[in-house]
Chains A and B, each alone.
Chain A
Amino acid sequence: MKWPEIVEAAAEWRSLPARYASAWRVNIALWTLVFALAAGLPLGLLVGWGWGGLAAAAVVAIGAWRFIRAGRWVRSFGYALREEDLLIRKGLWRREFAAIPYGRMQSVTVEAGPLNRLWGLADVSLVTASIQSDAKLPGLLEADAAALRDRLITLGESQATPM
């Protein structure tokens, strides 16, 4: 996992808390279970349990792969709060480097599902006028998330660009 130097040097990169990997793993496991049932049960009932088992096994295999890679994925995620923009780099297979100026921010949301709350984590997303912007910082510590939200709002309001 190596980013071009220019990206590395762009800012002080922060990473997600290590315990988010645990929350993420449980999340993957639960969804894998749901998908495996959704794929396996109908096939098993209608066609045959051999096919159902095969479909479920395929889903489980994908889930297992993601489960194993979860730690690396979380470590691959980096974000940087710069003077005027938020930088995000992420991904193992599909790598993405994004820059979101604070001035384009319309709102900031902090979300925490039941799983995240177990680990005391919350997701912070910066919402712009574009639905394509993907500025979500998953699994921050709850206190950090609230502080970040307030900081982003302040930065956004001071740099707002008119539509």
Chain B
Amino acid sequence: MSDANTPETVGQQPLGDAIGPGESAVPPPPSGFGQGLPGESAVPPVGPPRPAPTQTRQPAPGGPPPADAGQPPGGVKRTERAHPLTPLIRGWLILVAVVVGLVNQFMPRVGPPEPGEEEPRFDWLGQWQWIALAVVGVIIVAVIAGYFSWRFTKFVIDDEELRVETGAVFRKSQRIAFTKVQSIDIVQPFAARVLGLAELQIDTASTEAVKLRYLGVKRAHELRDYLLNRAAVAQGRSAGLPAGSPGSIGWPIAPAATMGAGPGAQSGVVAAGASPSAQPAAASGVPAALPPQAGVTFLAAPAKGPENVPFLATPKPLSPERVLLRVPPGRLVLAAVTSHEFILMVAVFAAVVVGGIATADSWGLWAMVGTAFAVLSASGSFLVRRFISQFGYELTQRPEGLRITRGLTSVTSQALPARRVQAVQLAQSLLWRKLGFYRVDLEVIGWGDVTNAENKSGVSTIMLPVGTWDDVQVALRALWPNADHTQVPVRVAPKRARWLHPFSAPFLRWGFDGHFFVSLRGWLVRRWQLVPTRRAQSFALVSGPVSRRFGLVDIEVHTAGMHLAIKAEGVDQAEATAALPDIVARLHDRAGPDVADPPAVGPAPESVSWPHE
């Protein structure tokens, strides 16, 4: 992303220049620092290379350092090491590979010689000794390599900077601008989970997330909360938004009223952060005196600058969270079995069986058995992987935003950056229509390489793997508290659209209002596509020679993402052109709150304009 053109970056420059003397004496990191880091490249080259994105520099805290966790005062670097068990995880993988390799190599030859065979080709005892020696050697090498890799891995995390140093031979130092931190996810691959470790993935909207691996689970959560707060301060200040305004830090802070008073809502805690009376307390610079929900209060009043940052202190207790949605395992299985992918596999299986029986010769039968076996194993692994990756899905609301946790063997805890969501798609396959299930996908800027496959663990674009219409509404209201997409008036495609879209025509709809552009399309898989008009990059009316004959056009809405093509099909040309000035005006409409902001008024009334049964 070339942010260099935005006024934010431009505005930051003088700010940094003004702060010079008070800045702590930190020598610039060694050369090679910041290589390949998009946050750095976005800063326009000004004179000599600057060691830091300017907005993250600040005078050392004036008063006594806020309470905490062994952070020395002033600008002294605080380095964090990877957990000592880290080499084990990598060593473990190597060991497994070696053992598997050896077994593959030698297993078929193990066993007593057949009577007819002359003699064993190998001296078995000697052979096993060699193998044992090789394994021990590999372990020793792995341990030494692991030790050095661990020894040279450092995470510098303090109020000045976030830097990751790795590599014993090829040293690499990567520094992340706090302003560019988009979200932080906690991922636990299986091996790490067994050892109680976790990996922090810091998303900077560039192609590859920066990974801190591995940390203790508790420490990982603490660091995540600290870094998120730290990033919020940097971004809140640099955004130049009015002090203390909720949402000025880039993450929505939902007051209790937003989400409705669900049972078990920790309304008191959340509301404390948003109430104006809480802000002076935070501004007084005595975080230690604050109640346990200091993190919340702090988030609402970031404007006073870094003095208020409780230094690695925020996370305990972990920020309050409220579970909005869960997917029960039973529904997950039902959804997987009725998904269109699975149905397709079953259909292939049936076709193979029928074909095999119909040919009724031995070749046909054998081919049938082989193909059927392949299809069966594929569908089995599909079910298992989908179950494992989506197991225990939870959508939770926390002061700094939404969060998704899921996975059986590898647990992923993924931040959902509401303001970076460019579009949302609900999808419903044929059988799900009967069950009333929907899947919700997100188009998030900078997530071009994030998977949208449901049977993969790790960070994904799936907001909700399966849910009812009500669940979908809960999720979308949490994502966009300030607007109700079901209020968007939609227009039905004209009858003649059947000529071009024979199956989907009755379902085709499109519409827009002050908040969203929506399109309903698709036949086997029905799609509801929602784009906040403010996130749309551009739009186009397109008509080919055939659709022009029918007086139809398609409306394309271009978003900053890689996964979804947002398009309304079979739109009446007269309607579309009549609406043109309105649509264009919506793209420019920047007044009023954003859809991801907390709402100004109470929840909107239910709407019936949307077909979803």
Is B542's CB under 8 angstroms from A132's CB?
no
Report which of B559, B562, B577 forms a contact with A6, defined as CB distance below 8 A: B577
Closest residue on chain B to residue A93 by CB atoms: B545
B7: interface (CB < 8 Å): yes
A115: interface (CB < 8 Å): no
Is B239's CB under 8 angstroms from A162's CB?
yes
Known: A85-B584, A94-B544, A163-B445. A100 touches B5 (CB 8 A): no
> Which range contains the number of A residues in contact with the other chain?
35 or more
Is A132's CB under 8 angstroms from B1's CB?
no
Q: Chain A CB within 10 Å — which of B5, B537, B539 has the most?
A: B537
B50: interface (CB < 8 Å): no
Closest residue on chain A to residue B554 by CB atoms: A96
B565: interface (CB < 8 Å): yes
Instruction: Enumerate chain B residues within 8 angstroms of A129, measured Cβ to Cβ.
Output: 1, 445, 537, 560
Majority secondary structure, A binding face: mixed
Instruction: Enumerate chain B residues within 8 angstroms of A95, measured Cβ to Cβ.
Output: 542-544, 548
Instruction: Enumerate chain B residues within 8 angstroms of A163, measured Cβ to Cβ.
Output: 1, 3, 6, 420, 445, 560
Report which of B538, B548, B573 forms a contact with A99, defined as CB distance below 8 A: B538
Is A132's CB under 8 angstroms from B558's CB?
yes
State how many angstroms separate the Cβ of B83 from the closest Cβ of chain A. 35
Is A160's CB under 8 angstroms from B544's CB?
no
Instruction: Enumerate chain A residues within 8 angstroms of B580, measured Cβ to Cβ.
Output: 6-7, 10, 97
Instruction: Enumerate chain A residues within 8 angstroms of B545, measured Cβ to Cβ.
Output: 93-94
- Interchain CA distance A107-B4 in the complex, whole Å: 9
State how many angstroms separate the Cβ of B288 from the closest Cβ of chain A. 34
Is A98's CB under 8 angstroms from B540's CB?
yes
Instruction: Enumerate chain B residues within 8 angstroms of A100, measured Cβ to Cβ.
Output: 537-538
Is A7's CB under 8 angstroms from B539's CB?
no
Q: Chain B CB within 10 Å — which of A103, A104, A130 has the most?
A: A130
- Interchain CA distance A128-B558 in the complex, whole Å: 9
Per-residue B-contact encoding for A51-70, CB less than 8 Å = 1, 0 else = 00000000000000000000
B28: interface (CB < 8 Å): no
Is B560's CB under 8 angstroms from A99's CB?
no
B588: interface (CB < 8 Å): yes
Closest residue on chain B to residue A157 by CB atoms: B5
Q: How many residues of B contact A (CB 8 A)?
A: 40
Instruction: Enumerate chain B residues within 8 angstroms of A98, measured Cβ to Cβ.
Output: 538-541
Instruction: Enumerate chain B residues within 8 angstroms of A153, measured Cβ to Cβ.
Output: 5
State how many angstroms separate the Cβ of A1 from the closest Cβ of chain B. 12
Per-residue B-contact encoding for A127-163, CB less than 8 Å = 1, 0 else = 0111111110000000000000000010011001111
Is A130's CB under 8 angstroms from B6's CB?
no
A27: interface (CB < 8 Å): no
Is A131's CB under 8 angstroms from B562's CB?
yes
State how many angstroms separate the Cβ of B332 from the closest Cβ of chain A. 33
Instruction: Enumerate chain B residues within 8 angstroms of A10, measured Cβ to Cβ.
Output: 580-581
Closest residue on chain A to residue B543 by CB atoms: A95
Closest residue on chain A to residue B534 by CB atoms: A161
Q: Chain B CB within 10 Å — which of A7, A153, A156, A161 has the most?
A: A161
Known: A84-B588, A93-B544, A128-B537. A106 touches B5 (CB 8 A): yes
Is B588's CB under 8 angstroms from A103's CB?
yes
Instruction: Enumerate chain A residues within 8 angstroms of B581, measured Cβ to Cβ.
Output: 6, 10
A-B residue pairs in contact (CB < 8 Å), sample of 5 = A6-B580, A7-B580, A132-B556, A132-B565, A160-B7
Given contacts A98-B538, A132-B559, A157-B10, 6 further A-B contacts (CB under 8 A): A10-B580, A10-B581, A99-B539, A130-B559, A156-B5, A160-B6
Chain B interface (Cβ within 8 Å of chain A)?
1-3, 5-8, 10, 239, 420, 445, 534, 536-545, 548, 556, 558-562, 565, 573, 577-578, 580-581, 583-584, 587-588, 590
By Cβ-Cβ distance, the 8 closest A-B pairs, closest first, are: A129-B560, A130-B537, A98-B540, A132-B558, A130-B558, A100-B538, A128-B537, A4-B577
Chain A interface (Cβ within 8 Å of chain B)?
4, 6-7, 10, 84-85, 93-101, 103-107, 128-135, 153, 156-157, 160-163
